[in-house]
Every structure is written in structure tokens, then in C-alpha cells.
Amino acid sequence: MASTTYAAETPFTIAVPEADIELLHKKLDLARFPDELEGAEWAYGAPLADIKRLAAHWRNGFDWRKAEAAINTIPMFTRDIEVEGFGTLNLHYIHRKSDVKNAIPLLFVHGWPGHFLEVEKMLPILTGSSPDLPSFHVVAPSLPGFGFSKAVKKPGFKSSQYGELFNKLMLSLGYNEYVYQGGDWGGILGAFLVPTLEHKHIKAWHTNIPLTTPPTLIRNPLLYLEMLLSPINKTMREELQATQHWFNAEQGYSILQQTKPQTIGYSLADSPVGLLAWIYEKLVAWTDNYPWTDDEVLKWISIYYFSRAGPAASVRIYYEMSNGGTKNILAGAPKATIPTGVSYFPREVAKLPRSWAAMFGKLVYVKEHDKGGHFAAFENPEGLASDMFAMYGKGGGAFGVVPGKNGYD
């Protein structure tokens, strides 16, 4: 059988045109801010004082060129990949290789409002060399329409297309067998694409957002009966109440992006202050008291503002994965049969009963962390990396799943 030929990769460096920076500054100069109710603080959304301070710093203090130079020290590439029915997508990705001969190939997939830099702090940890810990070759793509990946140009790009795109990326790098890690959309997409690529290509996977639909009598009879018969303890009750509150009070952004992404897209694309407020609120609300500096926030937001397709393209994944808001995003996700790991961070946006994690697949690793939130790789990189080491290290539930690649010298 003839082998598939893939396009060559191209080393990538960010070089935002000076004209784009000047336009950003002009727009910030002309920004018009809303008023604010007395004592509103965070109840109505991002506080006015915070957004004014950040906008002023973005205009007069933040040094994008310095941030750009720091990002460019990370090994980044682009590659043309053909996706059936959608033509060629030029995909941007990080590829940090380990010096360890038998390192494990790891596909790390981000979500919204994250991007490829979520993995930045984990790169030196995961690719390090230790006789007692596994090591990884880390591949972290920008989702289509995010960061510096080309955006999809027509409707219908769903989980199967993401699976084809990411698998072809890994194969093009010579990784026929690899493992997977995802949070936010990375975790949701993993729930769909891992079962379709398992065994042959994906050998094990881990998520830090163990979201699933409730068990049903037909699909999960034992778990369903257990849920009905088992008493709800205090912790479970509090977590379910917090999750219900999040769905009731914090999901307006998701409903809008699932149903009318083009409408919010005009604000995100044209107004840097609108983009800043839209994402900053999530950075603060979804993290575990993470001490954001203004420069960190603006570096994060600038990736969206200067993204290849513009920030509006990033929100369309909500529409595609929910069929325009007509179905539950997680509905229909099959169960994986490969080694599966889940980690719980205390400030994750939704907290479901731990027993439901069994619906993800063959559970071999479960970890409760005492700090961290939705952006676990960025907030608590040591904690999430320790999960990778425990799951794939000697004695771990997924040790040796990639033949000949145990991550040890």
C-alpha cells in the first residue's frame, strides 16, 4: 500500500504588521465606554474600572513586540492539511520535541477562550528528561479560526473533521500512535474523536473537563440506577447546585455563540474593548483566584485580536457543534475503550458527580486537585503535568500504551 504524502511544514514566527498595531491604538483612542451601576462590581459583567485600566495599558503601556518576541522562542510551525469536503487548511501548531529517545507523542488541544499558549508553561516540564518520569513530544495546534490557523470557509466543520485534521497532523509528524490531552473544547472534541481514532492511533487520553450528559436507563443502566438509589452527600449537592447556577447565570455567552456567532462577531472583530471585556470576564471568573497581571491579560487578548482570521472566527465552533443551538453539544459522544484519565480542578466551571466519569471510557486515572480552574495548564501547570507523569509513568494505568515509547531513556 502506498504511503500518504503530506505537505512539508513551515517554521512560523509571529510578525504582526505595524499598521495593525497602529490601528489597534487608534481604536483604543476612540473607545466609548458604557456607564455602570453603583456597587455592581462583577454581578453585571466585567467591571468598568478594570476594562478602562486594561484598555489604557493596552494603548500606552503594553509592549506587544516584547510579547511577540517571547512567543517566538517557542518552536512553531504551519502545515497545509487536506480535510475531506473542506479543502486545504493551513494549520498552526507548537511542536516541542523531547531529547528523550522514547518520548511519548502528546496531542494537546485547547478551547475557547483559550489558545495555543495555554500549553506554554507545561512545555519544559513535559519535555524534560528524568530517569523516574516519562517524557513527551508535545504537539499543540491552534484550532481552525484560532490564533494563527486558517479559518474554515464553509459551514459544517464538526468533530469528525477535527479528528481528521488532528490525526493527519500527528501522522505528518511521524506519530502514528500518540496520546491526547484536552480541556474545554479540547476535552469535548476528545469525547467524540478519541473513540473514532482509538487503538489504531490514539492509545490513551486525559481530560481536565470531565463533562458528560447525565446517565440514562438505556445507555448507562447501572450508573442510572446508582444515581437514583445512592444518597446525595453534602459535597455532591453543593457541586450540583454550583453547576446548575453556572448553567443558569453564566451561559449567556455560550447560547449567543451557539445561535448567532456572526452577530457577536462584529463586536469582537471591530472593537478591541469589546473583545477585551468579552474574554477578560472569563479569564477572571473561570480561574482559581489566579493573580493575573495586566500584561498577561493583554498578551492573551492580543493573540485573539491579531489572530489570522480575526477573533470572530473562533466562536463558530459553538454553532457547529450544537447545530445552531438545537442540540446538546455533548449529546451522542461515544464511550472510549482505551485507557482514560480525568482530573478535577476546584474552580472548573461545571462539576458533575464523580461516578459519571465512567461514561468517558476505561478509567485508569482519577485525580482531585486542591487548586486550579478552567485553564488548568496555565494556572497549575505542575499539577496537570503531574497527572501526565502519573498516568503514563511506571506503574501508571497507561504505562506502555504506545509500544516502544514509554518516555524513558
What positions carry a catalytic annotation? 184, 318, 374
Report the sign of the C-alpha dihedral through residues 264, 279, 143, 17, in that order.
Answer: positive
Distance CA 122, CA 100 (A): 16
| Gyration radius of the chain's alpha carbons | 21
Distance CA 85, CA 291 (A): 44
Closest to 209 (Cα-Cα) out of 286, 271, 265:
286
Distance CA 388, CA 375 (A): 16
181 sits in which H/E element: strand 178-182
Longest dimension (CA), the chain: 70
The DSSP secondary structure of 194-259, one letter per residue, reads HHHHBTTTEEEEEES----PPP-TTT-HHHHHHHHHSPP-HHHHHHHHHHHHHHHHS-HHHHHHHH
CB 361 within 8 A of CB 340: yes
